[in-house]
Amino acid sequence: MWIRQGAQIDLILSSALEVYLDNWKNARGEAAGAVLVENNDAQSILSQLVDRLPALEATAPWQHRKLKIDKDKLPHLRFVDVLNWGGDYVNSPMTIIAQSLPNDHWVIDHVGSVNVVYRNTGKAVYGLSGEMIAKEFLPKDVFDQYGGVLFEATQIHSALHELGHTTGAMAPEHVGKEARELLEAEYSTLEEARAELFGMWAMPQMAREGVFPMKLAEAGHYGMVISMVGGLRFIPEQAHVKARNLMWHYFTKNGGVEEVIEDGKKKFRLRIARIDELVAELLGLIGNTKASGDKAGAVKLRETYCFTDPMREDVEKRMESFPLGRGLIFPKLKRDGERYTAELEYPKSFADQPRYKARLLD
């Protein structure tokens, strides 16, 4: 339940956030609660992205376009700061960075959906380990150039990813059918890759229209390099990991990435112009595969480009000393007698948070 009110505060209460079986917790969902506050600066960039969505759909590199974009049916996309999280949200060591609620297509079509990108918690996570991965796999001059805007760029990419999920239409012969039914087990990987690629495809166009500088769009591409390379340390099984693995191999096999040896380590530089071509090419291919419900095509694409990478052990070793996850520490409002003040008070350690303390009930 997403509770909208006059104030810029969002409340989310849920008994089960996901409708598919989670590969990690092996559960369909847990009780969860969040108190969120809209981030105004980020929200203004977001509304510019949403305004441009029809123009993006009209020029997208796929065949079957969504001709009518009903603004009421667009996701309620929101950049928010987290005031507090409880239940399913606090699953250390993992931290949720962005979310579309719910996943159920019937609910989305009939009731609508909310897409949230969590800013302050995302920034905390990035501050701890994001830069380490960037420094490990990007050449020094690339890090110097883009490091400062990498977090901002990945946030915008996340928002475009969520919008990307709403784009495209089924081929005329499949109107009324769900791509998920036609593509079965291939669906999630294909759809996640489509959303990631949509974000990469849209960013330089938004920059050309002056929504943000081109440097930010390029930083968004490097943000994806970090996710893709970091993901190579896993055997591709989960949908997002498979999607990024597939994209990485498509880009590297087709000349989008230049390998550089620096301090005895393999690092990666993008051929930006070539990457933009490859993104459009693969986005078109995947968009058309989805629209036509071409399961055999999806299998072929996955078998060609999604595989355990020969660099897997090397990437794993290079990331060995990095934090495996993060535990967020939430502050409390300071109390002055009977009243709460506007000051925040942080617990001394992770385990000192009230949520982790046993409570005595009488």
**Residues in the site for Zn ion, rule: CB under 5 A?**
195
For residue 192, the minimal CB distance to Zn ion (Å) is 5
For residue 75, the minimal CB distance to Zn ion (Å) is 11
For residue 196, the minimal CB distance to Zn ion (Å) is 8
CB neighbourhood size of 26 (10 A): 7
SS3 of 263, please?
coil
Contacts of 48 (CB under 8 A, 6+ apart): 206, 211
How far apart are the C-alpha atoms of 194 and 301, rounded to whole Å? 13
For residue 195, the minimal CB distance to Zn ion (Å) is 4
Give the 3-state secondary structure percentages of the chain, helix then strand then coil, rounded to 5.
50, 15, 35
Which residue has the closest beta carbon to Zn ion? 195
Q: Of 195 and 298, which CB lies nearer to Zn ion in the complex structure?
A: 195
Q: Of 136 and 162, which CB lies nearer to Zn ion in the complex structure?
A: 162
Q: Of 195 and 283, which CB lies nearer to Zn ion in the complex structure?
A: 195
> Which residue from 229, 207, 225 is spatially nearest to 216, judged by alpha carbons?
207
Please work out, in degrees rounded to the nearest 5, the angle formed at the alpha carbon of residue 45 by the alpha carbons of 43 and 51: 100
Name the amino acid, one letter, at 350. Answer: F
Q: Of 114 and 195, which CB lies nearer to Zn ion in the complex structure?
A: 195
Contacts of 92 (CB under 8 A, 6+ apart): 325, 326, 327, 328, 350
| Phi and psi angles of residue 156, each rounded to the nearest 5 degrees, phi first | -65, -40
Q: Of 195 and 285, which CB lies nearer to Zn ion in the complex structure?
A: 195
Alpha helix (H) residue ranges in 138-184: 140-146, 150-164, 179-183
For residue 339, the minimal CB distance to Zn ion (Å) is 43
For residue 243, the minimal CB distance to Zn ion (Å) is 8
Q: Of 221 and 267, which CB lies nearer to Zn ion in the complex structure?
A: 221
For residue 160, the minimal CB distance to Zn ion (Å) is 11
SS3 of 341, please?
strand
110 to each of 71, 72, 74, 113, 170, how far by Cα in Å? Answer: 14, 11, 12, 9, 18
Q: Of 190 and 195, which CB lies nearer to Zn ion in the complex structure?
A: 195
SS3 of 312, please?
helix
For residue 103, the minimal CB distance to Zn ion (Å) is 10
Q: Of 142 and 195, which CB lies nearer to Zn ion in the complex structure?
A: 195
Cis omega (within 30 of 0) on the bond before 172? no
